[in-house]
Amino acid sequence: MASQPAQPPSTRSEWAYEDVQEAQMTADADLDFPETCDIARETVKHEAAPFQESANPIIAAFQTNNMVQRIASGLLLGGAVTVYLCLGPAAAPIYLCSMVVAVCNYEYAWLSHRIAHRFTAAYAFRYHGEAAADSLPLDVHSVAASRLPCGSRHPKIVAGAAAFLITGIVTGIFLIFQHRYFHYQTVQYVNIYQKTLVYTWLDFILLISISTWITIFSALMTPTLTAAINAIVQQFVYSWAVLNFFTCFLYDTNCFNVMSSGPGRMNVVIFVMMNRVAWWRSVTPLHAINSVLHVMLDCIGFAYISMLISPMSALLMQVDQGARIALGFLAVVWGVDTGAYFCGHLLSSLRFKHSHFLARHISPNKDIEGSIGGIIVGLAATLLVDALWSQESGIAVDDKVKKQNQYRQIWRIIFAIVGGAISRYGDLFASLLKRLAGVKDTGTLIPGHGGLLDRVDAMLFLGAVFVLYHRIAFPGGYDSDISNTLLTYLNIQNKVLRAQSGNGAT
């Protein structure tokens, strides 16, 4: 089959915005390179195993119907997260945040790789007259995270085994440090619901093991070595905040603050620039463009995932009601998303013709009417979680506590409404990234929803706002009694002063 003839290089000296819009704002690989797309489809068809639909109508509906997949996986995922947060260990929300960061970094690595590839390929095709086959955006799959760059026939098994090996080494090192230097003990206290919360040093080790395994496994599935290194470094710096919580707040008798959050984030930005820029060899203009794009996209990804989820994970570590806060927050996010989805389908089935779209050039299916329906569902989900948790606590309250609960419930309603509206911007930002990459979903982890980043895109944007809201609505949860610490400090200072003056012999 004859390949599409190369177009002559453009005579324009500048790259106009229309070129970016033409190449990036639409997933138009089929229109740009029809012949090479056909070749790629035939290759994928021969490589992939043929799909066989089940004879059972229920199973077949789950295999082929997106709405059925969305409902089933949503119920399963929501139930699993609820049980995990309610019945899991005291550090369950912290484990969950670490896993979310690792998987989202993996999916974003594929998104950024595709965006940079499409941008560079479009420039090369228009201005250097290269063949259309060289400009095809990687493959014709509809998801960003679709292939592993290495040639293994079982990439997930290989990546999982390597992750287990590295996790064993890292965990062993921390066990040695625990035995020789840390000496952490079990810590327990009674929260406001008269429940005893127990943190053991095993929680610290489990956090290290879980974070290391999911980070290494996800990094090995990224498209390039530089993307894998960036994912590991970003997770490493994010995890220091969690480790500082264990070493300096929970077990504050052995505080070892390795790195504060501010310098750590700056170090990530500097490392990304050094990792992506090919300073050790000469590069072509295309390589330079690709490096600059990757630097910008990696910095955006670090701010989008690690920095946006850090305030939320810090909140869950500071307060007693971490599980309840996490469930209430997820009720708003997932309630709005689910409500908007079904409300949009309902209006479409009723042939509603007067929709007011949020940003049709980014996501043609998101409108104001569906968002209002989603906010209503999110509000209902918030009230449901609040009612169920209040019954589960089972402690007697007086009139003063009832007034405080009513005041807090008003703030929850306000957040459900305002936060539901803000969460739609998180959906739009993720839709923009996917449109730039030319894909429909970020992955295939959750049937009917796509990847994990498709599921938590609104949560990332809303997390920082939620932390600010929680500090305003519940200021009492952030009060700390430092009187004993202050007295201890003053006594030590007095002893030092007496010793220096020669009056303290004892």
Q: What is the rounded average pLDDT of the residues 262-280?
A: 73
Residue 215 pLDDT:
93
Q: What is the rounded average pLDDT of the residues 393-421?
A: 74
Residue 196 pLDDT:
59
Residue 9 pLDDT:
42
Per-residue pLDDT at 39 exceeds 80: no
Residue 217 pLDDT:
92
345 neighbors 381 (Cβ within 8 angstroms): no
Q: CA separation (Å) from 144 to 141, 344, 422, 485?
A: 8, 25, 25, 52
Confidence of residue 7 (pLDDT cuts 50, 70, 90): very low
User: Long-range contacts: 241-250, Cβ < 8 Å, 24+?
Assistant: 241/310, 241/313, 241/314, 242/94, 242/97, 242/98, 242/207, 242/211, 242/313, 242/317, 243/207, 245/94, 245/314, 245/317, 246/184, 246/203, 246/204, 246/207, 247/182, 249/317, 250/187, 250/199
Mean pLDDT score across all residues of the chain: 73
Residue 48 pLDDT:
47
Residue 34 pLDDT:
52
Per-residue pLDDT at 29 exceeds 50: no
Least confident range from 40-44, 366-370, 419-423, 491-495: namely 40-44
Q: Please give the model's pTM, rounded to 2 decimal places.
A: 0.78
Per-residue pLDDT at 216 exceeds 60: yes
Residue 25 pLDDT:
38
Per-residue pLDDT at 432 exceeds 50: yes
> What span, in angstroms and rounded, lies between the C-alpha atoms of 286 and 471?
48
Give the residue, 115 or 72, on which the prediction is more confident: 115
Residue 13 pLDDT:
41
Per-residue pLDDT at 136 exceeds 60: no
Least confident range from 127-131, 173-177, 416-420, 444-448: namely 127-131
Least confident range from 7-21, 239-253, 429-443: namely 7-21
Per-residue pLDDT at 358 exceeds 70: yes
Q: What is the rounded average pLDDT of the residues 446-456?
A: 84
Residue 132 pLDDT:
43
> What span, in angstroms and rounded, lies between the C-alpha atoms of 313 and 463?
9
Q: What is the rounded average pLDDT of the residues 148-163?
A: 74
> What span, in angstroms and rounded, lies between the C-alpha atoms of 76 and 341?
18
Query: Which of 128-137, 236-245, 354-363 has maximum average pLDDT?
Result: 354-363
Residue 44 pLDDT:
47
Query: Which of 60-69, 88-97, 186-195, 294-303 has maximum average pLDDT?
Result: 294-303
Question: Where along the chain do its domains lie?
Answer: 28-61, 65-484
Q: CA separation (Å) from 242 to 72, 99, 208?
A: 33, 13, 10
Give the residue, 49 or 281, on which the prediction is more confident: 281
Least confident range from 344-348, 426-430, 454-458: namely 344-348
Q: What is the rounded average pLDDT of the residues 244-273?
A: 64
